[in-house]
Amino acid sequence: MAEIFKSGNVDLLNGKVAVLGYGSQGHAHALNLRDSGVEVEVGLRAGSASAAAAEEAGLTVRSVADAVRGAQLVAFLVPDGAQPSLYEEEVAPNLEPGAALLFAHGFNVHYGRIAPPAGHDVIMVAPKGPGHVVRRLYTEGYGTPAVVAVAQDASGQAQELAFAYGAALGAARAGMVVTSFAEETETDLFGEQTVLCGGVTQLIQLGFETLVEAGYQPEVAYYECLHELKLITDLIWEGGIERMHFSISDTAEYGSHAVGPKVVDEHVRENMRAVLASIRDGSFARDWIAEMDRGQPSLDVYRAKLAETQIEQVGARLRALNVKEETAGVG
């Protein structure tokens, strides 16, 4: 069993941390670190739309070069596609000797797109959750678990530095597991493609379409195949699959066991193995890098097609109905 680490020495972060990017992860890291007592500067491109939000939150915003100068640690929290050129052009020329480089995903280091010279710690703290949840749970006193890794240990204490960063981020409250850049990159890509993002959205859409095509009302199909999914996964998240099965009816529990494997069957396992192979041999990375280099035209088409689907239009209408009602003082 993997060891779960629940602490880190935040005092190791006694210099400045440059948080590059103020998007999903960037805002969460900058604010959580700041609230944990770490000196943070946010590094953004000139004219960045995120600058106002960061300043509004009381953070110091500088150019990427200025944030990197004098920083003890530089956190790469801009999109993965933007990181290699940002590293070459703005980070490497301004990096202090011995400054650590931190990533929230292993992609660029693992596939060799960023190769920092010896003399710099290269570490990863990858929260296992979206940035907005990383921030919200921290403010509520909880944390988002993270996996941490060391690709290069120049200081001899790179691992401790990663734990320190994880503690400041709130990840230590939930638990940190030591991994490698390879394991994080490959499992992260696999999980988002087959289960979390690609798998679950495909399951939702196929379920919705099957019901609608058979003549059922789209609103009923939406509630059944999308809305309730959150309630079910909340139960699984809280107490595992058994906790969810305890809460649902015996009818649902029997169907879950007896019918689920007929839907997501051994073909799906074969498909998953093929996906994993394309991640491990680098062919998915080659496709995605080529797509990024073209300016992501396929992603634009995917987004436009999804926006036109019936489930997205039905969902927008139904979700808009659920507005918060102020309850009058009930005594």
Which positions lie near ligand NAD, rule CB under 6 A? 21-26, 44-45, 48, 50, 77-80, 82, 86, 104-105, 126-127, 130-131
Structure tokens at 266: 């051994």
Least distance (Å) between residue 192 CB and ligand NAD: 9
Span between the terminal Cα atoms of the chain, in Å: 52
Least distance (Å) between residue 117 CB and ligand NAD: 21
User: Nearest CA to 43 among 32, 23, 35, 33?
Assistant: 23
Nearer to ligand NAD, 45 or 227 (CB): 45
Nearer to ligand NAD, 22 or 181 (CB): 22
Q: Which of 110, 188, 245, 285 binds Mg ion (CB under 5 A)?
A: 188
Q: Which residue is nearest to ligand NAD (CB)?
A: 23
Answer whether 20's CB lies under 8 Å from 26's CB. yes
Structure tokens at 47: 């004219």
Answer whether 178's CB lies under 8 Å from 2's CB. yes
Q: Identify the H or E element spanning 124.
A: strand 122-127
Nearer to ligand NAD, 15 or 23 (CB): 23
Structure tokens at 6: 């629940």
Distance CA 104, CA 125 (A): 5
Least distance (Å) between residue 1 CB and ligand NAD: 24
User: Is 184 near Mg ion (CB under 5 A)?
Assistant: no
Q: Which stretch binds Mg ion (CB under 5 A): 6-14, 36-44, 51-59, 180-188?
A: 180-188
Answer whether 231's CB lies under 8 Å from 239's CB. no
**DSSP letter for each residue of 18-62:** EEE--SHHHHHHHHHHHHTT-EEEEEE-TT-TTHHHHHHTT-EEE
Q: Which stretch binds Mg ion (CB under 5 A): 76-84, 187-195, 282-290, 322-330?
A: 187-195
Q: Note if 105 is an active site residue.
A: yes
Nearer to ligand NAD, 116 or 218 (CB): 116
Least distance (Å) between residue 75 CB and ligand NAD: 9
Among candidate residues 105, 110, 120, 245, the one labeled active-site is 105
Question: How does DSSP classify residue 94?
Answer: G
Distance CA 309, CA 304 (A): 9
Nearer to ligand NAD, 26 or 145 (CB): 26
Least distance (Å) between residue 191 CB and ligand NAD: 11
Least distance (Å) between residue 278 CB and ligand NAD: 18
Question: How does DSSP classify residue 326?
Answer: P
Q: With contacts defined by CB under 5 A, how many residues of the chain interact with Mg ion? A: 1
Nearer to ligand NAD, 15 or 79 (CB): 79
Q: Which residues contact 197 (CB under 8 A, 6 or more apart)?
A: none
- Active-site amino acid positions: 105
Which residues here bind Mg ion, judged by CB under 5 A? 188
